A and B are shown apart, each in its own frame.
Chain A
């Protein structure tokens, strides 16, 4: 049976002169207003998910609406409006000249 002569990098971490100082690298944090904005957004998401916690199907339905139905509805409205605008302009351009 052979033993591995190399030190275990995990167990000898504290004594390791190369890896040890990595722990002492300064903590990089967000700016306070950005951190607060992220916290608020996450709090909103938490409130939403907690609201649907006892009715998971309702949460799924809301997600389907938010991610699928709502964008589809907006796209449809935009498409109809653009089509109407194009046809209207086309009709105006093809009107017989006024005599």
Chain B
């Protein structure tokens, strides 16, 4: 942290290489759009660079970066069509669900494809809690801080998200597999 605060490029590179792919994966699964995920990723790193000299010594990069990325996503989303549709329908639009790159879906296993589609079908506030806690394995306290929730509210939201995910997997018109069995 001290080296980054002094503006050392090596220190920045270490953090960048450690968190770049994780942040991008989080943003990509949150936005379902590669171009937007790249834009938000860039802005997140510029925010880190700009705020580096003023960061507290005990700042942990993981939670800080995920908080910034998630806040940027929410700011961008405030005026987006996707958000309006989701507010109206109570779930993302089918177009938004299927927006994941065909190449990525084609190269994924059956299990991955089902999980990605089920994740994409969840409303954003449930998708983000799953991505942080189950996907990124942030500590519950850290995930709660990123999402601006109390720990008990995080638990509730996670349980709800899990239930919705199970329903979504059941809904998919696929042969019953291991996940569908686990969900019931």
**Chain A interface (Cβ < 8 Å from any Cβ of B):** 6, 8-10, 13, 16-23, 25-30, 34-35, 38-39, 41-53, 56
Q: Is the CB of B137 within 8 A of A23?
A: yes
Interface residues contributed by chain B, number (CB under 8 Å):
54
- Chain A nearest CB: distance from B21 CB in Å? 4
Kindly list chain B residues whose C-beta atoms are within 8 Å of the C-beta of A9: 133, 155, 158-159, 162
**Chain B interface (Cβ < 8 Å from any Cβ of A):** 4-7, 9, 12-13, 16, 20-22, 24-25, 28-29, 38, 41-42, 45-46, 48-54, 104, 108, 111-112, 115-116, 119, 130-131, 133-135, 137, 140, 154-155, 158-159, 162, 165-166, 169, 178-179, 181-183
Q: Is the CB of A30 within 8 A of B46?
A: no
Q: Is the CB of B50 within 8 A of A45?
A: yes
**A-side interface mostly:** helix
**B-side interface mostly:** helix
CB closest chain-A residue, reference B180:
A18
Given contacts A19-B134, A28-B28, contact A49 B104 (CB under 8 A): no
Complex CA distance for A7 and B69, rounded to whole angstroms: 30
Kindly list chain B residues whose C-beta atoms are within 8 Å of the C-beta of A53: 5-7, 53
